[in-house]
Amino acid sequence: MTTGRVLAGRIASTLMILVILTSRAASQTTFATLTGAITDSSGSVLPGATIEAVHTATNYRYTGVSNEAGVYTIAQLREGEYVVRARLSGFKEVVVEHVQVAARDIRRLDISLDIGSVEETVEVVGGAGLIETETARITDTKDADLLKKLPLNTRSAIGFLAQTAGVYSHTGTTGTFTIRYGGSRTNQENAAIDGITITAHDSSVLGPMASYLESVEELRVDIGNNTAEFGSVGQMTVISKSGGN
């Protein structure tokens, strides 16, 4: 009886340790999402429309179809610029250029189709809204070009965190690094590179990858109202540079 209790206690302790160790290893993504409604000129919804998003840098194509409510969603998008096309039989094709999405964005792009031949094309310049209206997250994103132009004497991506409103960072005399998001505690933040967590159990950043600014394509800082996949108040997401056409 005593042996059984000891064994049960050891199993319970092991399970608790596994839960603690995997709490920061939750599934995370850096991909973006485009969503919106497809309507005609009168505002009526149009189901069955085909929406195609072409990543300008790689020419990779993502497709989606509007549902019975006229709503489409294209997920798993890489960050960057897109050309979006909407097609439906009996309507003119609409091409929306310069649609810019950042890592982890959920951008809304509503498209209105006019009656006409599918061979006719309506080109729209502007793209999705600059404000993410689909979530309540407080976010700041800086791309590689802006990171190079900002007047900051550092080559580390982490050094740019303090330039985001609501973020406090400080390096002590002993070299310890403190960061707070929106008044959070020092252990309520997380950092990731391409979706891989680089934050240790003591909230320090592991590895040198975030220190090389030349390898950073985009730096995103979420200050609050994170989604459930992130168990932290603040989140720093680094997107590394990759090849293109």
Task: Compute the distance between CA of residue 165 and CA of residue 143 in angstroms, rounded to an integer.
Answer: 17
Same domain, 200 and 174: yes
Question: What is this structure's pTM?
Answer: 0.62
- Average confidence score pLDDT of the chain: 76
* CATH code: domain of residue 160: 2.170.130.10
- Max distance between CA atoms of the chain, in angstroms, equals 81
For tokens 């080559």, the residue is 155
Q: Examine residue 207 and state whether it is found in any structural domain, yes or no.
A: yes
Domain boundary among 125, 146, 171: 125
Q: Measured between alpha carbons, how far is residue 163 from residues 121, 169, 184, 204 in Å?
A: 43, 9, 17, 20
Predicted pLDDT at 36? 92
Strands (E), 157-215: 167-171, 177-181, 189-193, 196-197
Is the Cβ–Cβ distance between 62 and 74 less than 8 Å? yes
Same domain, 184 and 214: yes
Q: Examine residue 159 and state whether it is found in any structural domain, yes or no.
A: yes
99-151 pLDDT, tens per residue?
Answer: 988 887 888 899 999 988 766 666 666 655 556 666 667 778 888 888 888 87
Same domain, 145 and 236: yes
pLDDT at 21 over 50: no
| Phi, psi dihedral angles at 189 (to 5 degrees) | -130, 165
Same domain, 177 and 97: no
State how far Cα 112 lies from the chain centre: 26
DSSP 42-71: TS-B-TT-EEEEEETTT--EEEEE--TTSE
137-169 pLDDT, tens per residue?
Answer: 777 888 888 888 887 776 777 777 777 777 877
Is the Cβ–Cβ distance between 95 and 122 less than 8 Å? yes
Q: Total domain count for the chain?
A: 2
Range of the domain at 167: 138-240
Same domain, 142 and 114: no
Q: Examine residue 163 and state whether it is found in any structural domain, yes or no.
A: yes
pLDDT at 25 over 50: no
pLDDT at 228 over 60: yes
